[in-house]
Structure 1
Amino acid sequence: MTSQDTGTASFWHRLLDTRLTRRSALGGAAATAAAVTLPLTISEAEAVNNGGPSSVDPKTVRPQTVAPFRAIPSGNADALTLPAGFRYQVLAPWGEVFTDAGREIGFNHDYIGFFPIDLLEGGQSSTDALLTINHEYVNALFVGGDTKNRTPGQIRAEMEAMGVSVVRVRKEGGKWAIVPDPRNRRIDALTDIELTGPARGSAAVKGATMVKGTVGNCSGGQTPWGTLLTCEENVDGYTKAWAGSGYEAMHQGWVTEIDPFDPRSTPKKRTAMGRFRHENVAVTVAADGRVVGYMGDDMQDSCVYKFVSRGKYNKGDRAANLTLLEDGDLYVANFGTGSWVLLDYDRNKKLQEAKGADGKALFASQADVLADARASALAVGGTPVDRPEDIEIHPRTGEVYVALTNNSKHGNYFGQIIKFREAGDDWTAQTFLWEVFAVGGPQSGFASPDNLVFDPYGNLWMVTDNSDLSTNPIKGFHGNNAMFFFPTEGPNAGRAYRFAIGPVDAEMTGPVWSPDGKTLFVSIQHPGEDSESLDKLRSTFAAKAGTNIPRPTLVAIEGFPGWRA
């Protein structure tokens, strides 16, 4: 097949090269200088933007055109480094007991969901909330295990350290703290979870309707009806590592929906949304009421997906909304044609005709199509792209932004951020137009974009995923993994301003804002991960008193003026 027909990686790179905008191709030293210095103070920047975020309606205000802080240069310190005027607090670190049953916060924090405690009553509390924290995987060195010869006890400890923590937090006296609450709970790799949708009970999942656990919990999303969508990413490797535990890889790799407000509720895996290395789900409601979710498959030469529910969202009927993700259509993006290709066995003949290298049919049912969505996507012409990680929707324009982290297979070591607009500004549309928003590299100051988050102004914030900083000399300009701010409109659109720098070996992941815009919650994942031993630690970040062992944790960053009075 030709690249034009299939949307292969070579075609993708030719388009990337030819569609660079002037702002995405800022030149050399000038761009680097712009990324580390800023001529405006916070108050001056607010004045430029119609009075600042504390006095504006986020639906009508223009976004910032410059960063509302003085950007900082790259660094390598074993610390969380922020611009002048900002501060942070360590909150909910690994190992802290937070439930009446004595359960501890899990390991390697990732996505954070912020659910105002009064959300179901129509409120938007910014100082009292249920936080959901994903726990992606464990580092055996710090957990105290042997990665080569796992004992049954170690396997169980690893299973219990993954999954999701639901934690009530409250701000009192200027500080955040965990609050005892019956809704505080852990969902881990041993929790009973129900399968829903087309793959439920099928041969593709070995007939299962109930399965054990959720693992590889990377990023996620929040629904309009107040539930968490936790995304299962790197799940296949545990079949060997957890041999004898009953772990089934085909029962993982889905999107799992959790109701943080009901501790008795059973989490549900939404098989209609497909099985692949899920990074996150960006959820929105289309004009006709259908729910739309955008997803990326975090792997080199993998695809971008869209799920459209068949049922419609009803703001006044939460019980009905809790079933919306059971049924719907899954699509894969073809960036060569700017179109969405339906992944439905009965309605797409290509899926019925698809054959493997052995000449045998790849799929026999919709359950098969969903259980191997990656193979299905490639069979119908989905475009393989450069590690699609986080996807988020601009709150003002409705444009969809995609972080393409990198792809060493094709020489794309720095990654890029693209954006697309659906035809007619309809999220259920069959076609879209895309362009490059920002390109990583020394000229822009960042590399390997990962999680994205918009503030209500429509400004984009991004954290990086450079797992090879200590071994890759071409990324020497970057320093530790960091967080960047991007204006999305105006003359500086697409320009990166470094806001924060993480500790040694750490990623900053899962950023989320409080509704008033005054607190930014961010996870500090795997600090000191490359340490050889407990005697040669590369980081001691967030270590518990009396020990030097670094701890993954959530941090609450403050110093923002907020956008509501």
Structure 2
Amino acid sequence: MTHHSSPSPARAALEQSFWHRLLDRQLTRRGAIGTAVATAAAVALPVTISSAEAAANNGGPVSTVDPNTVNPRTLPPFRAIPTGQADTLTLPTGFRFHTVASWGEVFTLDGREIGFNHDFIGYFPIDLLEGGKSSTEALLTINHEYVNALFVGGDTQNRTPAQIEAEMKAVGVSVVRVRKEGREWKVVMDARNRRIDALTDIELTGPVRGSAAVKGATLVKGSVGNCSGGQTPWGTLLTCEENVDGYQAAWAGSGYEAMHQGWVTEIDPFDAAWMPKKRTAMGRFRHENVAITVAKDGRVVGYMGDDMQDACVYKFVSRGKYNPINRATNRDLLTEGDLYVANFGNGSWVLLDYDKNKKLQDAKSTDGKALFASQADVLADARASALAVGGTPVDRPEDIEIHPKTGEVYVALTNNAKHGNYFGQIVKFRETGDDWTATNFLWEVFAVGGPQSGFASPDNLVFDPYGNLWMVTDNSDLATNPIKGYHGNNAMFFFATEGPNAGQAHRFAIGPVDAEMTGPVFSPDGKTLFVSIQHPGEDSESLEKLRSNFAAKPGSNVPRPTLVAIEGFPGWRA
């Protein structure tokens, strides 16, 4: 792992000047004369606001950290906002957003529409294959996690074959070319714009391919449950299939096979002729995302979480090694490798290999039958395999991301109502010897949700170029618990990861009614933050009683999941 030395005095002065100019500019806009940093939600507030008002706004007391003693790179580039429940995307003064790609908009040359319930966003600079890092033009990949039958077809109880087909075409992934034109990003018609949906042909690769676990299948239909994902160093998308079992009943008669879903699927946004691949060596479970990196010895490592209560954290290590000049070879790297599960009790990675781990060979069901007979069986039910060898059940591991400066791995543990953990936490760990292929690690708690910190249910994570952490929340299924009393709508928070304010939450954005903000990603220059607005108005009783109208088409009140671009960031120095 590469460690980054401290910046030179000249660079440090430049960065400090940059951040102070930014803060001065934003505070002057508000007529403020100084700041104090709040604990709890850790909000930067003008000193003219009383401590009592600050505590009321942010759920806790106020501390007074002198910003002159803090690395300016770790200060939030905004004045944080209080909770809210408005039906819009609420941002600090100085920031703005606009919609880029909403459900139902035609974006391909053959008339296909953007899918439903946006999630992970992959940003692929249009010049990536030539070594470029364009911040004004890109191929964006947008995951579409699931459908709301009320909005897609209208019948939530008795789906017709036509409605089932419409739903199957609304999930999966959209590959969308975008370009910044003036102050806004626009969709550009391009032959590479396309949809991968529940009807697309996808190849199975790895140990499960052709096995009894998938009824001998080598080619399957579709990718569904597309939650979060990841991007490879060779410029492909890894879309993660999460909640896939419920479609068996919902899409009865369609030929849907649940065992063909629940994998990590690799898609090349630049090459429509390259058939997507399901990477079975990475295991089948409720994949939230995959954080990809290249280890010291050139092997590719991917960290993954199984998004359900009392499920586990995994690591995949490829057999082959990354070749920076051979993209075609790299596209096969995830076909073979070793899958591990984390044991947080002793800080170890346990190998999920049927031939090498006797616990897998001896594992029995409650009626005494062998759970596994092959490596294909182990991978096809990775959750049962993980628990059989002592993997640690944790509190809904959702997004996992790797710190760009330290190499530490951050895990969002969303919540676990089984144990009364409604608020969740973020943990981080460091591999032994700073080697991502190591079999031991040391972990610690980074931030804990609750009224004292101002956030709850951490979900997707993204790092900015300075290594600060940005997090969005997932309280959507917890509307009846005490969270709503202090948290309001789902929100986005900023955390410094170093210095005296590390782990303190600063509220940056608030989503519309019933919505999650998902899949955040920065443009390479840091000037644009793309975010998905997922399931606005999801708790609506009917089309006549809509709880949200966010991004509705002209002449309609129906809310639309949509990708938005947030502007107002000054960009980061390299």
The two structures share one fold, judged by TM-score above 0.5: yes
Report the Cα offset of residue 35 of structure 1.
3.3
Please name the residue that 1:331 is paired with. 340
Task: Report whether the alignment pairs 1:298 with 2:298.
Answer: no
Structure 1 counterpart of 2:183, one-letter code: G
Please name the residue that 1:538 is paired with. 547
CA contact (8 A) 1:32 1:444 kept: yes
Render the CA deviation track for 1:13-37: whole Å, top value 9, x for unaligned: xxxxxxxxxxxxxxxx963473373
Report the Cα offset of residue 564 of structure 1.
4.0
More displaced 10-residue stretch of structure 1: 63-72 or 491-500: 63-72
Report the Cα offset of residue 382 of structure 1.
0.1
Alignment equivalent of 1:482, drawn from 491, 507, 518: 491
Please name the residue that 1:15 is paired with. none
Q: 1:307 to 1:557 in 2, by over 3 A?
A: same
What is the DSSP-based 3-state SS (H/G/I as helix, E as strand, rest coil) of the residue aligned with 2:78?
coil
Alignment equivalent of 1:35, drawn from 31, 43, 46: 43
Task: Report whether the alignment pairs 1:212 with 2:212.
Answer: no
Render the CA deviation track for 1:280-299: whole Å, top value 9, x for unaligned: 00000001000000000000
Task: Report whether the alignment pairs 1:456 with 2:436.
Answer: no
Please name the residue that 1:422 is paired with. 431
TM-score by length of 1: 0.90
CA contact (8 A) 1:458 1:488 kept: yes
What is the DSSP-based 3-state SS (H/G/I as helix, E as strand, rest coil) of the residue aligned with 2:90?
coil
CA contact (8 A) 2:38 2:44 kept: no
Report the Cα offset of residue 142 of structure 1.
1.0
Report the Cα offset of residue 474 of structure 1.
4.2
Structure 1 counterpart of 2:496, one-letter code: P
Please name the residue that 1:345 is paired with. 354
CA contact (8 A) 1:289 1:313 kept: yes
What is the DSSP-based 3-state SS (H/G/I as helix, E as strand, rest coil) of the residue aligned with 2:329?
helix
- CA–CA distance in structure 1, aligned partners of residues 141 and 311 of structure 2: 28
Render the CA deviation track for 1:527-552: whole Å, top value 9, x for unaligned: 00001111111000000011010000
- CA–CA distance in structure 2, aligned partners of residues 30 and 424 of structure 1: 36
Please name the residue that 2:137 is paired with. 128
Q: 1:263 to 1:48 in 2, by over 3 A?
A: farther
Report the Cα offset of residue 257 of structure 1.
0.1
- CA–CA distance in structure 1, aligned partners of residues 147 and 175 of structure 2: 18
Please name the residue that 1:500 is paired with. 509
Structure 2 counterpart of 1:464, one-letter code: T
Please name the residue that 2:421 is paired with. 412
What is the DSSP-based 3-state SS (H/G/I as helix, E as strand, rest coil) of the residue aligned with 1:456?
coil
Render the CA deviation track for 1:403-450: whole Å, top value 9, x for unaligned: 000001011110000000000000000000000000000000000000
Alignment equivalent of 1:140, drawn from 135, 140, 149: 149
What is the DSSP-based 3-state SS (H/G/I as helix, E as strand, rest coil) of the residue aligned with 1:64?
helix
Structure 2 counterpart of 1:116, one-letter code: P
Alignment equivalent of 2:365, drawn from 337, 340, 356: 356
- CA–CA distance in structure 2, aligned partners of residues 221 and 288 of structure 1: 21
Report the Cα offset of residue 68 of structure 1.
1.4
Please name the residue that 1:402 is paired with. 411
CA contact (8 A) 2:41 2:506 kept: no
Task: Report whether the alignment pairs 1:119 with 2:167.
Answer: no
Render the CA deviation track for 1:329-355: whole Å, top value 9, x for unaligned: 000000001000000000111100100
CA contact (8 A) 1:278 1:295 kept: yes
Report the Cα offset of residue 175 of structure 1.
1.4
Please name the residue that 2:27 is paired with. none
Please name the residue that 1:377 is paired with. 386
Task: Report whether the alignment pairs 1:441 with 2:454.
Answer: no
Alignment equivalent of 2:169, drawn from 138, 157, 160: 160
Q: 1:69 to 1:146 in 2, by over 3 A?
A: same
- CA–CA distance in structure 1, aligned partners of residues 186 and 68 of structure 2: 35
What is the DSSP-based 3-state SS (H/G/I as helix, E as strand, rest coil) of the residue aligned with 2:404?
coil
Please name the residue that 1:7 is paired with. none
Report the Cα offset of residue 154 of structure 1.
0.6
Please name the residue that 2:268 is paired with. 259
Render the CA deviation track for 1:313-343: whole Å, top value 9, x for unaligned: 0000000000000000000000001000000
Residues 161-176 of structure 1 mapped to structure 2, 5 A cutoff: 161-176=170-185
CA contact (8 A) 1:35 1:445 kept: no
- CA–CA distance in structure 2, aligned partners of residues 49 and 225 of structure 1: 40
Structure 2 counterpart of 1:37, one-letter code: L
Please name the residue that 2:291 is paired with. 282
Report the Cα offset of residue 508 of structure 1.
0.2
- CA–CA distance in structure 1, aligned partners of residues 380 and 491 of structure 2: 35
- CA–CA distance in structure 2, aligned partners of residues 475 and 126 of structure 1: 37
Q: Which has the higher contact order (CA 8 A, sep 6+)?
A: 1
- CA–CA distance in structure 2, aligned partners of residues 448 and 492 of structure 1: 20
Please name the residue that 1:245 is paired with. 254
| Superposed CA RMSD | 1.6
What is the DSSP-based 3-state SS (H/G/I as helix, E as strand, rest coil) of the residue aligned with 1:253?
coil
What is the DSSP-based 3-state SS (H/G/I as helix, E as strand, rest coil) of the residue aligned with 1:142?
coil
- CA–CA distance in structure 1, aligned partners of residues 502 and 40 of structure 2: 15
Structure 1 counterpart of 2:514, one-letter code: D
What is the DSSP-based 3-state SS (H/G/I as helix, E as strand, rest coil) of the residue aligned with 1:461?
strand
Report the Cα offset of residue 144 of structure 1.
2.5
What is the DSSP-based 3-state SS (H/G/I as helix, E as strand, rest coil) of the residue aligned with 2:376?
helix
Structure 2 counterpart of 1:371, one-letter code: A
Percent of aligned pairs with the same amino acid: 83
CA contact (8 A) 1:110 1:134 kept: yes
Structure 2 counterpart of 1:385, one-letter code: V
More displaced 10-residue stretch of structure 1: 469-478 or 435-444: 469-478
Please name the residue that 2:211 is paired with. 202
Structure 2 counterpart of 1:222, one-letter code: Q
Structure 2 counterpart of 1:300, one-letter code: Q
Q: 1:380 to 1:172 in 2, by over 3 A?
A: same
Please name the residue that 2:401 is paired with. 392
Q: 1:381 to 1:77 in 2, by over 3 A?
A: same
Structure 2 counterpart of 1:409, one-letter code: K
- CA–CA distance in structure 1, aligned partners of residues 69 and 191 of structure 2: 43
Q: 1:342 to 1:39 in 2, by over 3 A?
A: farther
Q: Which runs of 5+ in 1 are unaligned?
A: 1-28, 51-61
Structure 2 counterpart of 1:355, one-letter code: K
Please name the residue that 1:525 is paired with. 534
Structure 2 counterpart of 1:315, one-letter code: P
What is the DSSP-based 3-state SS (H/G/I as helix, E as strand, rest coil) of the residue aligned with 2:74?
coil
- CA–CA distance in structure 2, aligned partners of residues 64 and 334 of structure 1: 34
- CA–CA distance in structure 2, aligned partners of residues 211 and 143 of structure 1: 24
What is the DSSP-based 3-state SS (H/G/I as helix, E as strand, rest coil) of the residue aligned with 2:150?
helix
Aligned length: 521
- CA–CA distance in structure 1, aligned partners of residues 334 and 69 of structure 2: 39
Please name the residue that 1:92 is paired with. 101
Alignment equivalent of 2:570, drawn from 558, 561, 565: 561
Structure 1 counterpart of 2:318, one-letter code: S
- CA–CA distance in structure 1, aligned partners of residues 41 and 300 of structure 2: 43
Structure 1 stretches of 4+ with a deviation exceeding 4 A read 47-50
Q: 1:554 to 1:38 in 2, by over 3 A?
A: farther
Q: 1:79 to 1:244 in 2, by over 3 A?
A: same
- CA–CA distance in structure 1, aligned partners of residues 72 and 182 of structure 2: 31
Q: 1:123 to 1:469 in 2, by over 3 A?
A: same
CA contact (8 A) 1:447 1:475 kept: no
Task: Report whether the alignment pairs 1:316 with 2:352.
Answer: no
What is the DSSP-based 3-state SS (H/G/I as helix, E as strand, rest coil) of the residue aligned with 1:77?
coil
Please name the residue that 1:59 is paired with. none
- CA–CA distance in structure 2, aligned partners of residues 504 and 347 of structure 1: 50
Task: Report whether the alignment pairs 1:365 with 2:340.
Answer: no
Alignment equivalent of 2:557, drawn from 529, 545, 548: 548
- CA–CA distance in structure 1, aligned partners of residues 350 and 282 of structure 2: 14
